[in-house]
Amino acid sequence: MPALGDIWFVLVGVLLLGYALLDGFDLGAGILHPFVARTDPERRAVMRSIGPVWDGNEVWLLTAGGALFAAFPMVYATVFSGFYLALILLLAALIFRAVALEFRDQLPGTGWRRAWDVAFFLGSLLPALLLGVAVGNIVRGLPLDADGLYHGGLVGLLTPLPLVIGLLVVAFTITHGAAWLLLKNEGPIAARSRAAALGGWLALAILWLAATLAAWALAPDRWEPFGSPLAWLAPGVVVVGLVAFPVLVRAGRAGLALVASGLSMAGMIATLGIGLYPNLVPALDTPERSLTISNAASSQLTLGVMLGIALVGVPIVLAYTAAIYWRFRGVVRLDEEGYGH
């Protein structure tokens, strides 16, 4: 039977995957907003495509952060203190994005709406890039001191491997968001979203290969677990999703294309988990300083209680999420309700 620390290692990964799959298309819609929407009604339609679900999608990020704090407090302390400036920028971007969604249509002025359109774009681009850079630094490893803390600044995080993975995450959100917009819209927005989906897919495939090669060269320790053939199932899932995505987009199967892009991200996160295990924050130069499941986990009592809470809470969140998506299914139309079935 897996130890509680191992179970929480997987659960944190599942929560991060939930955030990537759900808020990923929200962020992608925001990044694509200036490009797939040419008129004011079209911009409103793009925002309404995510309007009923975006705030619920962000619950997964909050839940992942809370789970990390409860299950692996040392990791939480290291990541949140070491990445402090990056996290402040991330929070500021998410706040401006949320405000843009609520404030844009409150006044009719062109300048007012254009300013919030810019905030919506930047508030979607920066979180995707910064989260990708954070993941890239975990893949590369951090220069941890004897207490397991990172004392570098923001500039120290912007090295080649993290930047490539940051761009990879941006490409994923664009691809995933374009598939969502294709599913939720008709006419010119759908046509432009189809082109954006194929362009994003090409960038995603290239950047995934680039990130894989960069990780192989700059973080070879992450590839040691892949001596087992079973470990290669995770990269195989990525390949399946990437191969299927353009075929489904061209066939007009937007829903399945969204599943395919999500499948590719699931494979990427599984690959990351396999490569890291049992590390949570690898130390760059001194592996013995790495934060692992064994030296960074909370007590067995805490992990057990939190697992019980998770077994009750996660199904409730899933049920609520499913109900919202079902209620607001269908194509967006700019009528009084904003949605058609």
Q: Is residue 338 part of a domain?
A: no
Residue 174, pLDDT score: 98
Q: Is residue 73 part of a domain?
A: yes
Six token digits for residue 97: 């994005």
Residue recorded with tokens 């490009």: 35
Distance CA 61, CA 130 (A): 14
How many domains does the chain divide into?
1
Quote the crossing angle between the two packed helices 4-36 and 300-327, to the nearest 10°.
30
Distance CA 167, CA 178 (A): 16
**Element of type H or E holding 52:** none
Cα dihedral 300, 302, 305, 310 in deg (nearest 10): -110
Q: Is residue 148 part of a domain?
A: yes
Closest CA relative to residue 93, chosen from 142, 16, 35, 26: 26
Q: What are phi and psi of 84, to 5 degrees?
A: -55, -50
Which stretches of 223-253 are DSSP H helices? 233-250
Residue 1, pLDDT score: 52
pTM: 0.94
Q: What are phi and psi of 281, to 5 degrees?
A: -135, 100
Residue 156, pLDDT score: 82
Phi-psi map region of 279: left, alpha, beta (phi>0 left; psi -120 to 50 alpha): beta
Cα dihedral 278, 280, 282, 286 in deg (nearest 10): -70
Q: Is residue 333 part of a domain?
A: no
Beta bridge partners of 291: 281
Regions of the chain where pLDDT drops below 50 = 336-341
Residue recorded with tokens 């919506």: 120
Residue 39, pLDDT score: 92
Q: Domain range for residue 193?
A: 4-327
